[in-house]
Structure 1
Amino acid sequence: MTDSATPYRVLARKYRPQRFAELIGQDAMVQTLGNAIRRGRLAHAFLLTGVRGVGKTSTARLIAKALNCIGPDGQGGPTIDPCGQCEPCRAIAEGRHIDVVEMDAASHTGVDDVREIIEAVRYAAVSARYKIYIIDEVHMLSRNAFNALLKTLEEPPAHVKFLFATTEVNKVPVTVLSRCQRFDLRRIPADLLARHFAAVCAAEAVAAEPEALALIARAAEGSARDGLSILDQAIAHAGIEESGVTAAQVRAMLGLSDRGAVRRLFAHLLAGDAPAVLAALADQHALGVDPAGLIRGLLETVHGVTRLKAGGAPDPAFAEEERAAVEQWAERLSHALLHRLWQLLLKGLAEVESSAIPLEAAEMALLRVVHAGELPDPAELIRRLTAGEIGGAAASLPVAASAAPVAPPPPRAPESFAALIEALDRSHAHLAQQLHDYASLVRYAPPELVLHPRRPLDGNLAAALKTVCDIGWQVTIAEAAGEPTLRERERERADEAARAERESPVVAAVLQAFPDARIVADQRSGL
């Protein structure tokens, strides 16, 4: 029994990574940081971005420990493997180190908060090697706060390091991004999460079925923190039963429908048995299953079948019996049918979630799936029309009616801002190039176009757009920036490709063997 004097720590806090080796799913970033520390090529500012719970704040604290660790003997230097025993490591882990300042930008958004940092960076660290500022959710800073930070961020004192974390990197100004070394933390794969949760259960002396952990890993959607919170709830839900955490308990806790019932319902849909579909839906509703959750289960089944048919690995959350059924469906069903099922169920899910009568909406959605199975697919329909097997009303129309003039279709604007620039390039190449390089898109909803030009645009944009599509364009210049420009996006993709190339095993091995080597562009091949 837990000592009442010791408060319970939730799993997400108890098993927060304390070493880079415990940070799962981010091997590329760890390798890059390790090489930078070993070679003394440390950036003055790091930007960590990714979805919730992938380890952004934990990574920032680990970097702070790595830079300030002095080793058990007090003589160590910066290392990718901090000891965790020296005073700086323990103080940073406990959040009490005077030279490691954590700030939540969500509650400190103004210029005054940033001014305190600007004034404090002038002074050397009190006891650590580096004075480190960790700013969480940095995108929440105001524009004025960002502007006040720019000069200090570009040329900080040698003893200062900035560590920024954000879930919405697109809201961080480009001027800040260009001054930081950026790391994109990836969603953690479900199989890695499941193995991590198994290790946590072993450490907690809690039995758990592999299928239950796979369900939790899939529900976590790539977030270790979310998954550990669900696992904490599942352990509490299981109580003190000897069986521990079971898949049935996790499904009940998360409101997931019974997989066997989903398989039976899916089989009824494929057979076009409308009475059986309605009866199965009524049975699940009587058991308390949410109609939307049942349709989500059908969507997961369609996805699993399609993925397996396309050559992917089976979903680890599927039980053995379910895997056999999915394999059979993958062999029997065509890609066209599976994609049609996906679209119909996806539309049905949206209707059920927005309906005031979800059960009735679910019945209508599933009946639509049943009756859609009676229709020929478009390819077969075209073949039968071409062969004359289907007589249409058009065949019996009088000649005069078929020869009646048809009104020209109204002009349609390009589907996207990028397509608009491409169309404009044919008649106004210079203006199109300016839009490509300097125009930050705020809103594209033809005929409305809202832009934030980084530089003044030459020429009459509204008149130029009229030559592309005469729909009465309404062009507005906004003060605040919107999306990155197309040129900035291209550069980001190029940087990402270059980073992936540098992180590939072959290139990494070459750079490690030849530290002074550089990657240069091949002008002849365009690479």
Structure 2
Amino acid sequence: MEHFVVSARKYRPQTFKDVVGQQAITNTLLNAIEHNHLAQALLFTGPRGVGKTTCARILAKMINHDGNQNPDEDFAFNIFELDAASNNSVDDIRNLIDQVRIPPQVGKYKVYIIDEVHMLSASAFNAFLKTLEEPPKHAIFILATTEKHKIIPTILSRCQIFDFKRITVKDARQYLGYIAEQQGIDAEEEALHIIAQKADGAMRDALSIYDRVVSFTGAKLTRQAVTENLNVLDYETYLNITQLILDNNIPELLVDFNTILSHGFDGHHFVSGLASHFRDLLVCKDQRTIDLLEVGETAKANYFKQSQQTSHSFLLKGIEMANDCDLKYKASRNQRLLVELCLMQLASINFDGEKKKSEPFIISPEHFKNTKVAPVSIPTEAKKVISENEYSENVEATTSSAIIPSEENRDSRKSFDASIKNTELQETKIESSSEKTNLEKSSTKEIAPKESSQPEVNPTSEQAMPKKVSGLSIKSIKQKKEILAKKHGEKAPASEVLDEAINEPQLHAAWDEYIHRLKNKGEKILASIMETDMPKLTDKVISIELPADTMKNELERHTHPLMSFLKKKLQNTLITLDIKVNEQVAKKYAFTDMEKFNKLKEQNPLLEKLRKTFDLDI
């Protein structure tokens, strides 16, 4: 049986032309070798699996070739690789410095490749400084690291730094296609694209994933097989979810989410992927940004098709809501409910249903522009029994609109003034002929016979109002004040009673949301008190147990805003809050060191013997 070699080793680049995705660095090194401008110390930094060590080995071979050697010569005796993760002491660096003094037996240079150089200790770095700055002319140091920020500045200043970038999805996909062609494997472009995305910019990771998937699928590499083996949510899943959101199909949406969870996917991963999917749809809506979408041509066509069904406002709102759910996920006590609420809210963004229209005006204000308002004349024979406020407002509105009447309305203005004067004269006669206490009775009796067409008004009911009075008289001002005083003394109308059915998960979600608001406002003490115990729901009574009276008093002071929030959030105005102090819970808290020791001593009596034997203090 032939020995299997992983693709990462089998297809490791042997020349700079074979290196994937690092053309800028490879061209710089080639020019430096050609023009003899190579520095004595080089630092290769960048993410894992992007070709740092590979480029160091290629460079070490190329600088020793003068054209006379065999092209396959690897100059193994001139290349020394040191793993700084396991050789990070001062003694290891001293041994290295001793070897540097010896010139090469074959070739021109001795190359020292120190991998993971950030693992060297501070003393080892300092011991290495002098040799790194002024090495022998036959020695070249190549340092490689994934964490440049951990290297001391004095080392960085002595090196020529090359920053390796992540391999793009496009480059990784093309290289995987080349390897699949070399191995005679029929691979779909979408399948290779998923592998390249999963690798996250590391070519070595992409090759490792490729080997694993090929072992699973055999000679034919399909997108479905790759998603099944890697257990990833592909773009088709999110396309289906988004279509259900656009169709406002909440039941099917919840069923699909349950199916995703049953396949072992994490809800957090699903939500973050949904936000990325909305971002990709937003990118597809403009031809200038469509190149930012790193997917295959087939997937790009599907994305573009769905993006035409969505609006910018929907996608922006969707990204905001999914991102908000992503941020709250770890802190949530009921994570599944949080994601389901997010999905239901997303499905309700464009849902009209039975909601009222959001327009604030029944008739548009533009309808009243350039419209002349004619003054209203109130004849003296119109003896309605109306409230003082209504009459005053009508008169004020009428007089204000008729301050500067138009030419065609001057006659109606005169009749209006006459009616006001007649009304004032009649009021003066009535007031002089009877006492003030009998004014309402006499006016009601006088008006009732004349208005036979109107129904009889019960004077004891709320609709019984005083006789109308001119809004321009002093009497009207007095009566207006009396009516306002009575109105302020009346009780406010009872608010609407809500009695929605609630359960404890809903109560806990609303409770956590209020705690989150308190923390954002800086009220951390009250928030910590509310976090002491989760409330329990019995019928319509919310009960919570606290370990101390001070905590109970603090929570009682803030009961009104808390209950207002819960009633509005849960749509139930009949719920009440019951705060109790649990003595048993209070005893569990050890407030001093001695109380803590006594608690431990109850569990293990030998601690007291230990304290007395060694004369220990608490």
What SS is found at the alignment partner of 2:212? helix
In the other structure, the counterpart of 1:132 is: 111
Return the offset for 1:355.
6.4
* Matched residue type, 2:243: A
Q: Tell me if structure 2 keeps the 8 A contact 1:256–1:294.
A: no
Matches within 5 A, 1:197-276: 197-239=176-218, 244-276=220-252
What is the distance in 1 between the residues matched to 2:14 and 2:223? 30
Structure with the bigger RCO (C-alpha within 8 Å, sep 6+) is 1
In the other structure, the counterpart of 1:302 is: 278
Return the offset for 1:272.
3.5
In the other structure, the counterpart of 1:79 is: none
Return the offset for 1:350.
5.0
Return the offset for 1:152.
0.8
Return the offset for 1:373.
5.8
- The structure with the larger Rg is 2
What is the distance in 2 between the residues matched to 1:319 and 1:39? 43
What is the distance in 2 between the residues matched to 1:65 and 1:53? 20
In the other structure, the counterpart of 2:130 is: 151
Q: TM-score, normalised by structure 2?
A: 0.54
* Matched residue type, 1:53: G
Return the offset for 1:263.
1.1
Matches within 5 A, 1:511-526: none
In the other structure, the counterpart of 1:7 is: 3
What SS is found at the alignment partner of 1:46? strand
What SS is found at the alignment partner of 2:291? coil
- Please, which moves more after superposition, 347-356 or 107-116? 347-356
* Matched residue type, 1:144: S
Query: Aligned in 2, Cα 1:353/1:34: closer, same or farther, shift over 3 Å?
Result: same
Residues 369-399 of structure 1 deviation map (CA, whole Å, 9 limit, x = unaligned): 3356679xxxxx9x99xx99xxxxxxxxx9x
Query: Aligned in 2, Cα 1:106/1:356: closer, same or farther, shift over 3 Å?
Result: farther
Q: Tell me if structure 2 keeps the 8 A contact 1:99–1:128.
A: yes
* Matched residue type, 1:232: D
Identity of aligned residues (%): 34
Matches within 5 A, 1:49-448: 49-71=45-67, 73-74=68-69, 84-86=71-73, 89=74, 91=75, 97-239=76-218, 244-310=220-286, 311-313=289-291, 315=293, 317-318=295-296, 320=298, 322-349=299-326, 351-352=328-329, 359-371=336-348
Query: Aligned in 2, Cα 1:179/1:277: closer, same or farther, shift over 3 Å?
Result: same
What is the distance in 1 between the residues matched to 2:285 and 2:271? 21
What is the distance in 2 between the residues matched to 1:129 and 1:193? 35
Q: Tell me if structure 2 keeps the 8 A contact 1:259–1:297.
A: no
* Matched residue type, 1:270: L
What is the distance in 2 between the residues matched to 1:261 and 1:332? 17
Query: Aligned in 2, Cα 1:101/1:357: closer, same or farther, shift over 3 Å?
Result: farther
Q: Tell me if structure 2 keeps the 8 A contact 1:49–1:169.
A: yes
Residues 274-326 of structure 1 deviation map (CA, whole Å, 9 limit, x = unaligned): 22311221233345544344334423422321222352327453462x43442
What is the distance in 2 between the residues matched to 1:345 and 1:174? 42
Residues 178-218 of structure 1 deviation map (CA, whole Å, 9 limit, x = unaligned): 11111111111111111100110111111111110011111
Query: Aligned in 2, Cα 1:38/1:261: closer, same or farther, shift over 3 Å?
Result: closer
What SS is found at the alignment partner of 1:313? helix
Q: Tell me if structure 2 keeps the 8 A contact 1:54–1:186.
A: yes
What is the distance in 2 between the residues matched to 1:333 and 1:182? 46
What is the distance in 2 between the residues matched to 1:219 and 1:122? 46
* Matched residue type, 2:258: A
Residues 45-83 of structure 1 deviation map (CA, whole Å, 9 limit, x = unaligned): 111011010000001101101111244x43xxxxxxxx7
Q: Structure 2: which 5+ runs fail to align?
A: 353-357, 366-487, 489-520, 523-618
Residues 137-178 of structure 1 deviation map (CA, whole Å, 9 limit, x = unaligned): 111111111111111111111000000111111111111111
What is the distance in 1 between the residues matched to 2:226 and 2:28? 38
What SS is found at the alignment partner of 2:162? strand
What SS is found at the alignment partner of 2:290? coil
* Matched residue type, 1:191: K
What is the distance in 1 between the residues matched to 2:324 and 2:196? 26
Q: Tell me if structure 1 keeps the 8 A contact 2:284–2:307.
A: yes
In the other structure, the counterpart of 1:507 is: none
Q: Tell me if structure 2 keeps the 8 A contact 1:270–1:370.
A: yes
Q: Structure 1: which 5+ runs fail to align?
A: 75-82, 92-96, 376-380, 389-397, 399-409, 412-527
* Matched residue type, 1:313: D
What SS is found at the alignment partner of 2:85? coil
What is the distance in 2 between the residues matched to 1:368 and 1:260? 22
What is the distance in 1 between the residues matched to 2:203 and 2:224? 22
Q: Tell me if structure 1 keeps the 8 A contact 2:189–2:296.
A: no
* Matched residue type, 1:63: L
Q: Tell me if structure 1 keeps the 8 A contact 2:167–2:201.
A: yes
Matches within 5 A, 1:455-466: none
What is the distance in 2 between the residues matched to 1:142 and 1:114? 10
Query: Aligned in 2, Cα 1:121/1:293: closer, same or farther, shift over 3 Å?
Result: same
What SS is found at the alignment partner of 2:142? strand
